[in-house]
């Protein structure tokens, strides 16, 4: 127990050493570039992480078609009931079988909690979350969006 024998002086030197190491950390922090994002001014350079979930979207290809098969799995998966799907049955003329087709895909941003269960449930990857986070509107009705075109 060396430190026991020289308690007083070793305590002082140990304290000084540890305090100096702490001071070194903050000093390097003082001179590193600051991490603050000044949000409205920095819109052009703002980088949002790819994984950020801001709003549900339904991507459409260049023909205006989406991949949704109106199976309703996302509607069932949603714990808040923020997705409601309106379907209709269409009879295929070639095969004669009836098939569900999407009429409107309504998504209520106001009660979405961004859990991503709907995206995980979708068998066709028809829906996904986008980074577009500036979603504030003046009327609650505007939060209910129709995702399909």
Partner 1 sequence: MYDFSIITTAIDQFLRSLMPSALATFLECVLIAVCVLVAYVLLAIVMIFMERKVCAAFQCRLGPMRVGFWGLLQVFADVFKMIIKEIIDFKRTDNLLYNLAPFLVVLSSVLTFSCLPFANGIEVLDFNVGLFFIMATSSFGVLGIMLAGWSSNNKFSMIGAMRSGAQMVSYELSIGLSMLTLVALSGTLQLSEIVARQADMWFIFKGHLPALTAFIIYLIAGNAETNRGPFDLPEAESELTAGYHTEYSGMGFGFFYVAEFMNLFIVSGIAATIFLGGWMPLHVPGLDAFNATMDYIPGPVWFFGKTFFVIWLLMWIKWTFPRLRIDQVITLEWKYLMPIGLVNLLIMTLCVVMGWTF
Binding site for partner 1 (CB under 8 A): 11-12, 19, 22-23, 25-27, 29-30, 32, 34-36, 38
Termini Cα distance of the chain:
78
Q: What is the spatial distance between Cα 79 and Cα 116, in angstroms, rounded to a whole number?
A: 10
Nearer to partner 1, 24 or 99 (CB): 24
Nearer to partner 1, 29 or 50 (CB): 29
Q: How far is the CB of 101 from partner 1 (least distance, A)?
A: 52
* Separation CA 122–CA 70 (nearest Å): 10
CB of 136 to partner 1, least distance (A): 20
Tell me the closest approach of the beta carbon of residue 15 to partner 1, in angstroms. Answer: 8
Q: How far is the CB of 86 from partner 1 (least distance, A)?
A: 46
Nearer to partner 1, 15 or 103 (CB): 15
145 contacts 109 by C-beta, under 8 angstroms: yes
Q: Please, are residues 57 and 68 in contact by the beta-carbon 8 Å criterion?
A: no
Question: Closer to partner 1 at the Cβ: 7 or 76?
Answer: 7
Work out how close the CB of 10 gets to partner 1 at its nearest, in angstroms, rounded to a whole number: 13
- Compute the C-alpha angle 77/82/85, nearest 5°: 75
CB closer to partner 1, 11 vs 76: 11
């Amino acid at each position: 127990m060396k430190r026991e024998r020289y308690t007083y002086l070793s305590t002082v030197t140990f304290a000084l050493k540890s305090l100096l190491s702490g001071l070194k950390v903050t000093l390097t922090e003082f001179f590193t570039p600051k991490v603050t994002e000044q949000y409205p001014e920095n819109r052009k350079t703002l980088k949002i992480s790819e994984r950020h979930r801001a709003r549900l979207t339904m991507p459409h290809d260049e023909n205006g078609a989406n991949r949704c098969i109106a199976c309703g799995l996302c509607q069932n998966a949603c714990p808040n009931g923020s997705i409601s799907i309106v379907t209709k049955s269409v009879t295929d003329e070639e095969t004669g079988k009836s098939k569900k087709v999407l009429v409107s895909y309504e998504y209520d941003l106001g009660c979405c909690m961004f859990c991503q269960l709907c995206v995980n449930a979708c068998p066709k990857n028809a829906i996904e979350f986008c980074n577009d986070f500036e979603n504030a509107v003046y009327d609650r009705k505007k939060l209910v969006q129709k995702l399909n075109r």
